[in-house]
A and B are shown apart, each in its own frame.
Chain A
Amino acid sequence: MRTSPAVVDGLASPAPAPPPRTRSEARAAFEDSASVGLGFVPLGIAFGVLVTHSGVGWWWAGLSSALIYGGSFEFLLIGMVTAAAPLVSVAVSAFLVNLRHVFYALSFPLDRVEGRLGKTYSTFALCDEAYALTAGQQARSWSSRRILWLQLFMHLYWAGGATAGALLGSLVPDSVTGLDFALTALFTVLALDAVRDRRGDLPTPLLALVSALAARLLFPGQLLPVAFALFTAGLLARHLPTRRKQSHA
């Protein structure tokens, strides 16, 4: 990912009317978002093609990608709606798969996004990649506008790719199957990156793997909730003894 020069001069001078920086801020955000776009557009197209091949109308790919805007869950949702899963199951699955977003509130720079509308959109479009790009060191100096532009670009990549894929989906013959592996590959890549970021902390992915395999064997119908619960309980069990030791020291 490229880092761009900091835009801090506008913050330092107490100018009553800030200069119209929209264009350059949008341009900087566009450059920052390019790497994500290279992933979002093809994945969005794969999602759209899968929607059409599942027998759901192309408009649904556009609606889902614009309103839910959570790629991993949207791939899962295709299978659920084609199986006519109860809406309660849909809500529970959305909750479980997207629960990880709860932790983004701990360090996403929402305090730097201005205005009620801006904050509203910023939380709405807070996908994994938006968090990953804005929570790092290089984003410390980014303005409200630049963060919002960045989020808007990513939103457009995903929704645009999905809609295009769904419209083009009928051109891809039905005998072409297996596109759904894009989701498995996405999670695999995110897992490898996350494990690499926590270099030396192998117990965490191992604990997750054991939790998932145990859930798969014992409660195959409820793999996700059981695995998440086992994993969280395991993490807490690892953490609490060290905490007690620290408080005694």
Chain B
Amino acid sequence: MPDTTYLVAAVLISAAVTWTLRALPFAALAPLRASGTVQYLSTRMPAGIMVILVVYCLRDLPLTHARVAAPLAALTVTVGLHLWRRNALLSILGGTAVHVALASTVFAH
């Protein structure tokens, strides 16, 4: 369990970096709003960044173990529910529930 000073410092540093990224571009990017390249990137980056973050979350999949079934089943449920009902909350809760159920029982280690 890390000490309190470290925990608070980690939050403050993260908060400062996050806020800077949210606020600074309003000044810095204002002249670039008309730039074709910036517009091109800004419309395409969100979809790609989300895909990369999904891969990042699944980077340590235990591909050679049976317990890989838990995240794969949960992912299938999440995608299936979302394509079916288009309800973000339902998809997230459904997928997470499947993962918790499998990881806590069948594939508990």
Contacts and interface: CB of A to CB of B under 8 A. Distances in A.
Contacts of A177: 100, 103-104, 108
A173 B49 CA distance: 34
A67 B12 contact: yes
B52 A212 contact: yes
Nearest to A211: B52
Most buried by A among B12, B28, B100: B100
B65 interface: no
A117 interface: no
Classify chain B: how many residues form its interface, as a range.
35 or more
Interface in B48-92: 48-59, 70-71, 74-75, 78-79, 82-83, 88-89, 91-92
Interface string A178-221: 11011111111111111101100100110111011100100010
A240 B59 CA distance: 31
Q: Is the interface of A mostly helix, strand, loop or mixed?
A: helix
Interface residues on A, range: 35 or more
Interface of A: 38-39, 42-43, 46, 55-57, 60, 63-64, 67-70, 72-73, 77, 80-82, 84, 87, 90-91, 94-95, 97-108, 110, 120, 123-124, 126, 175-179, 181-195, 197-198, 201, 204-205, 207-209, 211-213, 216, 220, 223-224, 227-228, 231-232, 235-236, 239-240, 243
